[in-house]
Chain A
Amino acid sequence: MLVPILKQGQYLIASVQAALRDADLVKLRDALSEQVGTYRSRGVIIDVTALDVLDSFACRILSDIANIVRLRGAKTVIVGIQPEVAYSMVQLGLRLDGVAALDLEEGLDYMKRGT
């Protein structure tokens, strides 16, 4: 399942709707690194509210996206991680680089404050 990437003003919003296969994650990474240049976006928001699990591969890809986007001169914020997901992630020792926010609203807030 492909993740829709919405352009919202200066920001790109990728809203994950269902559990993703590894290949879809890679596609998401490629698409975001591409489009952040195309649209000259200043920030990328990835919404994972719908996910009830984030495994090691997903964490790595999300961290990669944060780092890639930073190199392309924009910021990334991951929003909507559920409390249970957050807890199991720290239990498993998974690291997630970049900034996280409670939900889309907070994420947009963060972007506006920073830019």
Chain B
Amino acid sequence: MSAVRKITMSARSRQESVVVLPELVAHLRENRTQLREEWARRITEAELLTAMTKEEVFTETTSLYDNYVDVLATGAVEALQAYARNLSERIIPRGVETNEVVGIVLLLRDVLARSLFKKYQSDFTLLNRVLDAYEPAANRIAVTVAVGFVQERERVILEQQEAIRELSTPVLPVREDLLILPIVGVIDPQRARQLTEQLLQGIRANRAKVVVIDITGVPSIDSTVANHLVQTVEAARLLGATAIVTGLSPLIAQTLVTIGVDLTKMNTVCDLRGGIEEADRALGYRVARMEESSPRGEGR
């Protein structure tokens, strides 16, 4: 019984909102200029979007306002989603923050709600019905824009992470049998895995016998990172390559000794130059400076 009543009630309220919505939209379209100015004023007051010029704020607010009202009229958020994505693409590089974007959308919601209060203040029942129609739609819009912005941001972050990852782990063949793996930046488990895999592929592809792993560019080392290094060295050994770790700063060396990581299996040298010299010795290379008297383009 009560369920039936609930259904009829919700059906009625939906019907009512259908009746009220066009009126609401018409009101918002009529007062477009005034409400938009009010909104822009509030944005300036709240010191949002400071990274953009006044004209830009004006253009963006205009199109956002129109989009907003369109969504209220049609209930279709797809166009707004596309717009939010597009907007985010444009403003994220400018340094606009999430709180600003959410803030301006919520401000618009408030400005419009105020204007509705003002218009329907004489008739409380009607005001209630108008708000019933307005609030869910407005909230959905706020969520859509915020989600669109955050998604775009996450996409940018993912892209950058990917770029860093690709850039940061080159495996460089220096001589026959000798590879250098310079590591720059923080080593996290995922990166350690990728480093090791690339190194192992490199060892196989170049048939390397010695690998110099240079960690000059690694800011800090804890026991996890140290273990990753030990694993990398061990994996290289299983493919028949000796690993030499170079670039341990005094601070890092002290840290490793203090936290008691067992690095006895690791062959370490203090700088990359020393590491390459050591590798040359192991491979039987001898690097010698050319004689002063040797002909350098002489007689040609």
Q: In the complex, which residues of chain B have a beta carbon less than 8 angstroms from the beta carbon of A81?
A: 238-239
Mask: chain B, 223-237; 1 = CB below 8 Å from A; 0 = not = 000000001101111
| Chain B contacts for A86, CB-based, 8 A | 200, 235-236, 238-239
A90 neighbours in B (Cβ, 8 Å): 196, 231-232, 234-235, 238
Q: How far is the CB of B28 from chain A (nearest CB, A)?
A: 60
B197 within 8 A of A: yes
Inter-chain contacts of A53 with B (CB < 8 A): none
Within 8 A of A (CB), among B247-272: none
CB within 8 A of A102: which of B193, B234, B240? B240
A30 interfacial by beta-carbon distance below 8 Å: no
Q: Which residue in A83, A99, A100 is a CB contact (below 8 Å) of B197?
A: A83
Of the stretches B49-57, B64-72, B201-209, the one at the interface is B201-209
How far, in whole Å, are A94 and B257 apart by their CA atoms in the complex? Answer: 24
Question: A69 on the interface (CB 8 Å rule)?
Answer: no
Q: Are B240 and A106 in contact (CB under 8 A)?
A: yes
Q: Count residues of chain A with CB under 8 A from any CB of chain B.
A: 18
Question: Are the CB atoms of B240 and A100 closer together than 8 Å?
Answer: yes
Q: Known contacts A87-B196, A87-B197, A102-B204; is A79 also within 8 Å of B240 by CB?
A: yes
B209 CB → nearest A CB, Å: 8
The answer to whether A91 touches B204, judged by C-beta atoms less than 8 angstroms apart, is no
- Contact across chains for A89 and B204 when beta carbons are under 8 A apart: no
* A83/B239 contact (C-beta < 8 A), A102-B203, A102-B204, A102-B207 known: yes
Asked whether, in the complex, the Cβ of B235 is within 8 Å of the Cβ of A89, the reply is yes
Which A residues are in CB contact (< 8 Å) with B240?
79, 99-102, 106-107, 110
- Report chain B residues within 8 Å CB of A85: 238
How long is the Cα–Cα vector from A89 to B237 in the complex, in angstroms? 12
Closest to B198 in A: A83
Residue contact A87 to B200, C-beta cutoff 8 Å: yes
Name the interface residues of A1-30: CB closer than 8 Å to any CB of B. none
CB contacts (< 8 Å) of B241 on chain A: these are 102
Task: Give complex CA distance A24, B240 in Å.
Answer: 25
Most buried by B among A78, A90, A91, A110: A90
B261 to chain A, nearest CB (A): 15
A96 on interface, CB distance cutoff 8 Å: yes
The CA of A96 and the CA of B240, in the complex, are separated in Å by 12
Cβ-closest 3 pairs across A and B = A83-B200, A101-B240, A86-B238
A-B contact pairs, 28 of them (CB 8 A): A79-B240, A83-B197, A83-B200, A83-B204, A83-B235, A83-B239, A85-B238, A86-B236, A86-B238, A87-B193, A87-B196, A87-B197, A87-B200, A89-B238, A90-B196, A90-B231, A90-B232, A90-B234, A90-B235, A90-B238, A91-B231, A96-B238, A99-B240, A100-B239, A100-B240, A102-B207, A102-B240, A102-B241
**Chain A residues engaging chain B, CB cutoff 8 angstroms:** 78-79, 81, 83, 85-87, 89-91, 96, 99-102, 106-107, 110
A81-B239, A85-B238, A99-B240 given. 5 additional CB < 8 A pairs? A86-B235, A86-B238, A90-B235, A91-B231, A102-B207
